[in-house]
Each structure stands twice: as structure tokens, then as C-alpha cells.
Amino acid sequence: MSNAFDFAPLLPAGLPAPAVKWTGSPKYNFTGGNNDADELPLDGIISAADAVLRREGRTLATYGLESGPQGYRALRDFLVQKLKRDAGIVCTADEILVTSGSLQAIDLVNGVLLARGDTVIIEQECYQGSINRLTRMGVNVVGIPLDKDGMRMDALATALDDLKRCGVRAKYIYIIPTVQNPTGSILPEQRRTEMLRLAEAHGVPIFEDDCYADLIWDHKRPPALHAMSKSANVIHIGSFSKSVAPALRVGYIVAPWAILSRMLSIKFDAGSGALEQMVLAEYCASHFSAHIPELTRGLRNKLDTLMESLNEQFGTAAEFEEPKGGIFLWVKLPDNVDTLKLYQPALAAGVAINPGPEWSVNKPHSRSRMRLCFASPTHDEIRKGIAVLAEVCHREFGVPTRISNVKRG
């Protein structure tokens, strides 16, 4: 419309670029943190919703479900037991704040700890959502290199010493220690002990993101950093997005009340979604422990299909470390491949990938890498999608040098 009101002059400087209008999912979608629809415990969720609403549905008339602003009490009680059993974390329900997904948890932590010009330490390859938030806030980011076991403690020690010599105290060390995103590594207990020692020596807290920790193939994990800390210097966040369903948008923060209370004071949404919390608490109390092995078994099978497909279609041109859990595979292609430039022609052919530089604070280091989510596509879609991706990559970069003749139908 030619007479449409022009909002552009009213927009403040520094806004992110406008969103692209959604036109539907690509045919072969290897992006995002979507999960396996076949493993969604739909019948259990339906039964839980019916039971809890019949029993407590009228509490929806009250903000906070008569549980207060920190979240539905039954869900926080479940988390107290789960965190102790699975992660070794000993806490009370009053040290847990339920959030609208882990992204809100990240925003709340950043909101009380960070200002423009501050410095934080994070993993060199890391969660895009965390990197983007720090960039928008004008925070200085120090990336620590990773190896097959996660963040390197020698590099962390050097970075902390360098900052100290410059008179800079990092506001926190952000890490995804248990099933790292995007690499799928698990930080060994010895490194966790060393990280806690370094953090305490330099007076820097640790921000522990444990959103993928339930999805470990052998169901064995080291204690959480929060559990190992002797000085209560760890803020721990988690989520039900990967263990149950991402669209439910339920996460949580575990922290001492002194800092949790400051986060609660800037949580301006009048409470996270109540119905989601009620249903999760009802479902998880009886079914969570049985659900996780079924979910991880299905995810592990899909990972096998993805690795087999990459080996068949790309051969030695695709390098990767087998992840220890999760929903992502971090793939290295030959140095002449730029995955940012591969993205558009691949998408035009129906294949969506996450280019490596978007998941790194050292973009040149990750130029030829890509993150592939294997949870959402079916086994057949994985095979066909990787075959199409190989064709596109061969056409654009000459990689792989030979293409397998796979019928895609």
C-alpha cells in the first residue's frame, strides 16, 4: 500500500536485521534444535494434561498457579530430585527459577551481570544464541579453543592470566560442559576440577549451560560444575526443550538466592507459561526416567544413519568426531569449502545446514565447518538430504571429488 505508515524513521539504531518471513520448512532440514517427532511422548503428555487440569486447573486463574513467581512448585520439586540424581546438584526449590526456555535464562543471567564493554570467556565454538546476545550487548568475548574433550584448561589459564595483567576481570566463564553445542563433547571431571580452581583463583563465576545433558548415549556423565563447586560460584541452567519438546519453552536457572533474586526482579513477563509447567511436572514425575533412554536410543540410531551417509557421499572429505550425545554433528569439510557460501545453493536445492562460522567466535577457524541436526529428519530424509548436499558441494567447490549414485526418488 502506497499510503502505509512508515515506521522506519522511528526505529532506534542498533536493531538486528529484520526477520525473514517464514515460508515453510526445507525438504531436508538439518538446522535448529528440533527434536524427533516420533520420540515425542504424546500419549503421556495428553494423559498428564488431562490429569493435572482436572485436579488443579482452577489455579490457572492465579498468576504463578498459587506457587509464586519462581514457577510451578511441583515442577521445581521434580527438578530438585532430578538434578540430585542425574547431576549431583543439591539445591532447594527456592534456588530454582523456571524460565521461558533456556534463552530467557541466558537473558536473565546476562541482564544482571553484564554491561556494554564487559568481558566474558566462552568456548571458541559455541551456541549461536549465546554468541549473538553477547555481540548485541557490546560485550568483549574471549574464545577458548576446544579439543575432543571440550574446553582446554591450559588455554583458559592463559586467557585468565592475560586478562589479569590487563587489569580486566571477566564477568563469567560460559561453558556447555556436558554434550557441548556444537561439538557433542563432554568435559572430563579432571578438567571440571581445574576449571573450578582457576575460576576461584581469579574470582570469576562460571555460567554452566546443561541443556543437552540428558541426551548421553551411555547415560553416564560427570557431576555438574554446580555440584562440584565449593564456593557456590556456578550459575546452572537447563531445559526441557531437548529432553521432552522444544515448543513447550520451559527452562530453568539454579543459583544461590542472592543472585537468583536479582534475576527474578528483572523477569518482567509475569511468569512463564503455566500450562506447560503443569503438564511437564505431571508427566515427568512418573515417566521422565523411562522416556530418556527411549529418546536417546532413537537419536543414536539417527546419528549412525547420518555418519554412514556422510561417509558414503563425502568419503574422507567429511571429517568429524563422533559426539557423545545430543542432536548435532560438527563436520569439517576441506579448507576450500566456505559453508557460508554453501548455505544458499544448498537451501535452493532443499537442504538446510548451519554454517560453522555462525557457531564460532573465531569465524575463519570454522569457515569450512557445518553443524548438522540429525534429530528432526527421518532416516530416509537424512540419506537423501546428504546425497543432495554432496551434489551441491561438488558443483560449487569440487568437494567431494566423486559423487555416489544414490537414488533419491
CATH for 235: 3.40.640.10
Domain contains 28 = yes
Do both 306 and 244 map to the same domain?
Answer: no
Chunk the chain into consecutive blocks of 10 residues (it has 409) and report each block's average pLDDT, rounded to whole numbers.
84 87 91 90 96 94 90 97 97 97 96 97 96 94 97 98 97 98 97 98 98 95 97 96 93 97 94 93 96 96 98 96 97 97 97 96 94 97 98 96 59
Question: How many CB atoms within 10 Å of residue 401?
Answer: 10
Domain that holds residue 346: 24-41+290-397
Regarding beta strands 119-123 and 173-175, do their DSSP bridges make them parallel or antiparallel, or are they unpaired? parallel
Dist CA 244 CA 280 (whole Å)? 9
pLDDT given for residue 408 in this prediction: 47
Domain contains 337 = yes
114-126: b (≥16 Cβ within 10 Å) or e:
beeebbbbbbbbb
pLDDT given for residue 403 in this prediction: 66
pLDDT given for residue 404 in this prediction: 62
Q: Give the DSSP per-residue string, 308-327.
A: HHHHHHHGGGSEEPPPSBSS
Do both 111 and 182 map to the same domain?
Answer: yes
Do both 323 and 392 map to the same domain?
Answer: yes
pLDDT given for residue 409 in this prediction: 45
pLDDT given for residue 77 in this prediction: 98
Residue where a domain terminates, one of 240, 257, 287 = 287
Do both 81 and 181 map to the same domain?
Answer: yes
Task: List C-alpha distances in Å: 168 to 206, 249, 270.
Answer: 16, 36, 36
Joined together, the cell numbers standing for residue 2 give 502506497
CA-nearest of 340, 335, 344, 304 to 317 is 335
Question: How many CB atoms within 10 Å of residue 52?
Answer: 21
CB contact at 8 A, 119 and 170: yes
Domain contains 35 = yes
Domain contains 59 = yes
Report phi then psi at 248, rounded to 5: -70, -25
Domain contains 19 = no
pLDDT given for residue 140 in this prediction: 97
Domain contains 7 = no
